[in-house]
Amino acid sequence: MTQAAGARAAYDKQCEAHLFTFVLLDGFSHLSLVSALETLQAANLVAGSRLYDWKTCSLSGDPVRSSVGLALPVDFDVRDIAHPQDIVIVSGEGAFEIDIGRLKVWLARVGRGQTRVTAIGTGSIIMARIGLLDGKSAAVHPWYRTGFTELYPSVTLSRQTHLAKGLRCSASGGVSGIDLFLDLVALEHGATFSNDVSESLCYAPIRLVQKSVDTGSPSSMSVLHPTVSRAIATMENTIEYPVSPSVLAKDFGISTRQLERLFQRYIGTSPKRHYMRLRLREAYRLLIQSQLGIAEVALACGFTSPSHFSKCFKTEYSISPFEFKRSKAK
């Protein structure tokens, strides 16, 4: 028996536990992987038996470097896996650029029928690039929403941190992998058991908060004062057509001066400055994630003049939009 055939036989050997196959891509989110694995292990501990098992693989069988710089050895090369039960794609910051040709070929062969494919970290981007999310919904990290929408208009972006129903599941990154896998456990073993697993992780109070999180308004969620939170949410939703602080203040029934005082107290800056940072942050993401030209990015972020946009961008990031876009293309 050849070494490859032996590997295939080892993987295909029947296992009583529910088996997850984690595909690790270069630069994968270490936190997302650990969140998922610890949740599955907690389920085993609560049950007192091996309900779940997992194997890791890479596109070459070689160790894969994670987001924190650790090279993790894997159990298999994807080419040695012919009949995966449950596939989980784990990726990181380079999801838009990484070469996924081999993964696409493999998933075209094994990811059909009733095989569930789940994305954690930035895995939703990988799934969209392959075409697995066409006409479906996905959870995506707030940093990538704008570029994702530009590139994959056929995919509906969820405003929740995770989606755990059907054959295409996803989490938006970070600890949302815990919520996703708790829901997968609930689908198989019931909500009561899943809640017990959550408690074993000391995660139950956090889970209640996670269920209310709207990934479309990440910054506003962290502000305690309701008026400031609502003002930031409005800013985040009007990036392309910004409104003045005086209009915001009027909408909330307070004076412009009151709004400025609230921002200084809770944010440490003025409404105008915070709004500018939000728009420039969006421009930064668009320059990385989309194919838009600099003038188009400027308009999308509420700048009527490309030269004014360039000046503001360079002040914020110490590099012009042109220089930044050119550096990312190398």
Retrieve residue 61's tokens.
Answer: 């069988």
Q: How many CB atoms lie under 10 A from the CB of residue 1? A: 8
| The predicted structure's pLDDT at residue 268 | 87
Output DSSP code: residue 78.
G
Q: What is the pLDDT of residue 242?
A: 94
Angle subtended by helix axes 176-189 and 30-47, to nearest 10: 30
- What pLDDT score does 28 carry? 96
Structure confidence at residue 100 (pLDDT):
93
Helix axes 176-189, 191-200, angle to 10 degrees: 140
* Helices and strands in the chain, H and E counts: 15, 11
Closest Cα partner for 60 from 14, 6, 120, 7? 7
Whole-number pLDDT of residue 160: 86
Q: What is d(CA 50, CA 254) in angstroms, rounded to the nearest whole number?
A: 59
Integer Cα distance of 104 and 111 in angstroms: 10
Dihedral pair phi/psi, residue 191, rounded to 5°: -65, -35
| Per-residue pLDDT, 256 | 95
Q: pTM of the prediction?
A: 0.69
Compute the distance between CA of residue 150 and CA of residue 138 in angstroms, rounded to an integer. 14
- Cβ burial of 249 (10 Å; 0-12, 13-18, 19+) is buried
pLDDT of residue 3: 56
Q: What is the pLDDT of residue 233?
A: 87
**Structural domains of the chain, ranges and CATH numbers in brackets:** 3-210 (3.40.50.880), 220-329 (1.10.10.60)
Contact 169, 116 (CB under 8 A): yes
Pairing of strands 71-72, 64-65: antiparallel
Cβ–Cβ under 8 Å, residues 166 and 117: no
pLDDT, residue 150, reads 80
Residue given tokens 């003045």 in the structure block:
244
Handedness of CA 182, 186, 188, 193 (dihedral sign): positive
Which structure tokens are listed for 56?
């890791």
* Rounded-to-integer distance, Cα 22 and Cα 310, Å: 42
Query: CB–CB of 88/22 below 8 Å?
Result: yes
pLDDT along the chain (330 residues), means of 10: 51 71 96 97 96 96 95 94 93 90 92 89 95 94 81 89 93 92 96 94 73 52 73 90 93 94 89 93 82 90 94 91 77
Structural element, H or E, at residue 168: strand 168-171
